[in-house]
Amino acid sequence: MEILASENGHHMISLILNNMQKLNFINFYHHTSLPEIVDSFILQMLKNSHETLQIATISRFCIPDISFPKLKTLQMTIGKDICLPEFKTYFPLVLKNMERLQTVRVYLGGSGYDDVCKYIAKHYNKHCISADAFDDVHKMLNIVPVKILTDVYDLEEDLQNFKYASGLQYLHVNIYSPTEPMSCGWDKYQEILDQYLNLKAVELTWKQGNFKNITLSQISEANQNIWQERILYFKARGICIVDDGEIDENENLQTKLAKEAGITWKFHFN
């Protein structure tokens, strides 16, 4: 169930609370800060489904202090209503009540996420497993020390001279212009990637034009040779080139790294 929270929804509250219980998924969504008037509604919705809920999305720590025995995925937006004081106070309580929690998906919003991420990096370092480099606004490897970075588009924008380069082990890169092999930072790929001393595997997703996947055999021989040189660079460093899906959105890989770190739940940053 997905609920668009608004101050004009009072007439729906009783109907929803009385008829929607024992849910598996709840997403409390609002494009700006959630109005405080909906707090009691959110609390009651979560109470009604606390025994069955498996996925919950929140943008404020408005969670009852009761057990959520089946909840595996918690999704939260930090930087709006969830700033550092709220996170420090309420996140430990959430962990206590969600004994089967596997993944905390963190979405960065507003301007207050930086302090929360610094706190996470210091106090929950082992739990920082994966992140999406989905745009050039959030320089993920300057924010959190993850082991998996996916959806990289521009090597220079997403990878050059970042604070947590040494911890990265798995990298997924989208190559949208294989016919322009010097674009998106690939003209200085060795300088950039040499910073990633612990890189174990790379997934390269080849796309062109309307973003349909292509193969190297579909581009010119001259460009094929350029890309083959880059593939040889990875092999010379002992870095595996893996198939599509072996790094990007690979929950099994994330779980494997979490187990190796000796943790039962993990952060994924968006």
Q: Quick check: 265 and 258 in contact, CB under 8 A?
A: yes
Q: What is the CA radius of gyration of the chain?
A: 21
Residue 137's pLDDT is 58
- Indicate if 198 and 243 belong to the same structural domain: yes
Residues with Cβ within 8 Å of residue 85, at least 6 apart in sequence: none
**Between 134 and 96, the higher pLDDT residue:** 96
Over range 68-97, report the average pLDDT: 93
Residue 44's pLDDT is 84
Residue 3's pLDDT is 47
DSSP 34: P
- Indicate if 204 and 134 belong to the same structural domain: yes
> What is the token pair recorded at 119?
């706190």
Q: Would residue 236 count as lying in a domain?
A: yes
- Indicate if 19 and 91 belong to the same structural domain: yes
> What is the token pair recorded at 113?
């996420």
Q: Would residue 97 count as lying in a domain?
A: yes
Residues with Cβ within 8 Å of residue 182, at least 6 apart in sequence: none
**Between 18 and 251, the higher pLDDT residue:** 251
- Give percent above pLDDT 70 in the chain: 84
Q: Would residue 256 count as lying in a domain?
A: no
Buried b or exposed e, range 154-168, using 16+ CB within 10 angstroms:
bbbebbbebebbebb
* 137-164: pLDDT as tens digits: 568 999 999 999 999 999 999 999 999 9
Q: Would residue 264 count as lying in a domain?
A: no
Over range 180-201, report the average pLDDT: 96
Q: Would residue 261 count as lying in a domain?
A: no
Q: Please, what is the end-to-end C-alpha distance for the chain in angstroms?
A: 22
Q: Would residue 62 count as lying in a domain?
A: yes
- pLDDT(43) > 80: yes
- Indicate if 122 and 138 belong to the same structural domain: no
- Indicate if 42 and 100 belong to the same structural domain: yes
Give the residue from 104, 127, 150 where a domain finishes.
127
> What is the token pair recorded at 7?
């101050």
Residue 2's pLDDT is 45
* 258-269: pLDDT as tens digits: 999 999 999 999
Q: Would residue 259 count as lying in a domain?
A: no
- Indicate if 140 and 122 belong to the same structural domain: no
- pLDDT(255) > 70: yes
The torsion of the CA quartet 8, 11, 14, 19, rounded to 10 degrees, works out to -100
19 burial class (0-12, 13-18, 19+ CB within 10 angstroms)?
A: exposed
- Indicate if 3 and 102 belong to the same structural domain: yes
- Indicate if 80 and 172 belong to the same structural domain: no
Residue 219's pLDDT is 85
Residue 7's pLDDT is 46
Give the 3-state secondary structure of 90-128. HHHHHHHHCCCCCEEEEEECCCCHHHHHHHHHHHCHHHE
> What is the token pair recorded at 266?
């993990």
13 band by pLDDT with thresholds 50, 70 and 90: low
11-15, 53-57, 66-70, 93-97: which has the minimum mean pLDDT? 11-15
**Between 32 and 117, the higher pLDDT residue:** 117
- Indicate if 1 and 75 belong to the same structural domain: yes
Give the residue from 93, 127, 161 where a domain finishes.
127
Tokens 């690939």 belong to which residue? 186
Tell me the sheet residues that pair with 131.
Answer: 149, 269
Residues with Cβ within 8 Å of residue 50, at least 6 apart in sequence: 64, 66, 67, 68
Residue 246's pLDDT is 97
* 197-244: pLDDT as tens digits: 999 999 999 876 655 677 777 889 999 999 999 999 999 999 999 999
Domain holding 92, by residue range, is 1-127
Hey, how many other C-beta atoms are within 10 angstroms of the C-beta on 260? Answer: 11
Give the residue from 127, 149, 174 where a domain finishes.
127
- Indicate if 32 and 74 belong to the same structural domain: yes
Instruction: Count Cα neighbours of 101 within 13 Å in the Cβ-side half-sphere.
Output: 23
User: CA–CA separation, 265 vs 171, rounded Å?
Assistant: 21
Q: How many helices (H) and strands (E) does the chain have?
A: 9, 12
Query: Which phi and psi (to 5°) does residue 200 adopt?
Result: -105, -35
Residue 1's pLDDT is 46
- Indicate if 202 and 80 belong to the same structural domain: no
Total number of domains constituting the chain: 2
Residue 226's pLDDT is 95
45 band by pLDDT with thresholds 50, 70 and 90: confident
Q: Would residue 262 count as lying in a domain?
A: no
- Indicate if 61 and 113 belong to the same structural domain: yes
Over range 72-87, report the average pLDDT: 91
